[in-house]
Amino acid sequence: MSRLRGAGAIVLGKTNVAELLFYQEGDNPLFGRTNNPWDLERTSGGGSGGEGAIIAAGGSPLGFAADIGGSIRTPAHFCGIQGLRPTSGRLTNLDSPPEMFFPGMEAVILDPGPMARTVADLELAMRVLAAPGLEKLDPKIPPVAWPDHTAVSVKGLRIGVFEDDGYWPASPALRRAVREAAEILTSRGATIVPFADPDPEAATRFYFSFLTADGVEWERKRLRGNPIDGRIKMLLRISRIPGALHGPVASVLASVGGQKRLANGFRWSAKQSARTYWRLLEERADWRRRFLDEMDELKLDAIVCPPHTVPAMRHGATKLLYDTPSYLMRFNVLGMPAGAVAATRVREGEETDRPRTRDKVDREASRTEDGSAGLPVGVQVAARHWREDIVLAVMAALEEEFSTRSDYPSRPPEST
């Protein structure tokens, strides 16, 4: 933030976040909830939902947030703006309070980054934030020069594309947005290649396993004596179940109750022994290698995919839809740079096509899709480590075309 101030930025204030930054809704017992300017009955996302809402409503041109599991890209997608999460370790966290950091953040890093109404403003902010000399302030920052995205031509890039990550089927409008993005990039000379994660469930499993590895003790200590949000209470209750019972409870939920997604939540939130934690690190390293090997095999420069499973969720839906940012978490666990660029809006007749199921989480996804016509939809762009220039170049090309279309989410009706 000191770099932005030094460059002449005027700080308007701080915006609302989720309690402990732990779920996808800017809502907490102290300041209450943040509404999405496109639909006040829906969330603007989280953790940095307040930032997404004020930028989308025209209250600020630029915001600064942090992303450990989609907290920049979720609000960007939900609110119809742009957001960038840089390569893990690109920017320093020294200006953040030390009590924000817990053991799981050593495995999945909290990365600061900008949110804005245009891709050009994201790049402007990053030129300031990632300017030379940051490694002198924070010795953990590698002296990797900030790349110039204007030197990157979309023509000739090989871009991997997927509409479904193999773990959570995305809404129809999100799949359409990815197809339209592929068409735009093809028209500009890029080569589009189908891509699939070698282990679709891996990133989500690693994400929750690492962040709850201490049995949620970090969260419990910091909440002591404070009002606790219902979503956090649910996590605390689950954490009190002895670790040896998490597997059996998950099996009963999945096989008898038909609650496969809730079963995953139990299975991945057990307190970890040191031995199990080390095994998780080894498994993550293996998955990372396989993912990057697949990119190497296809000679990919970037990946384009949905930024989320659904459009902006109804208030409270995040209690069940805890793992819907699987598309975002993937790049947090990989440590790759990724951005969300506004693309289109949900059309009448394409709100949902989910099959009927007993699974409460799947049913909540269908419920949040119902009535979503008119809501913003984004596209996610990711690239190899330290290649934010490719991410921004692809985002800029998509923004240039999408912004000319009648269904582009340029500004919510309430703010015009």
Reported as a single tens digit per residue, the pLDDT across 360-405 is 999 999 999 999 999 999 999 999 999 999 999 999 999 999 999 9
Within a 13 Å sphere around the CA of 357, how many CA atoms are in the beta-carbon half?
Answer: 18
pTM of this prediction exceeds 0.75:
yes
Q: Any idea where the domains of the chain sit in the sequence?
A: 2-415
Q: Using CA atoms, how far apart are residues 40 and 19, in angstroms rounded to an integer?
A: 20
pLDDT at residue 414 in the model: 64
Interhelix angle 326-334/274-298, nearest 10 degrees? 100
pLDDT at residue 322 in the model: 92
pLDDT at residue 209 in the model: 93
User: What burial letters (b/e) apply to 53-82, b meaning 16+ CB within 10 Å?
Assistant: bbbbbeebebbbbbbbbbbbbbbbbbbbbb
Q: Using CA atoms, how far apart are residues 277 and 350, in angstroms rounded to an integer?
A: 42
Strand, helix or coil at 344? strand
pLDDT at residue 98 in the model: 66
Residue 26's CB is within 10 A of a number of other CB atoms, namely 29
CATH architecture of the domain covering 2-415: Alpha-Beta Complex (3.90)
Q: Which residues of the chain have pLDDT under 70?
A: 97-105, 414-416
| Contact call for residues 394 and 304 (beta carbons, < 8 A) | yes
pLDDT at residue 236 in the model: 87
Which residue is listed with tokens 């307040």? 50
pLDDT at residue 416 in the model: 43
pLDDT at residue 93 in the model: 84
- Which candidate, 369, 399, 395, places its Cα nearest to that of 382? 395
Q: Using CA atoms, how far apart are residues 366 and 353, in angstroms rounded to an integer?
A: 8
- Cis amide prior to 47 (ω within 30 degrees): yes
pLDDT at residue 140 in the model: 86
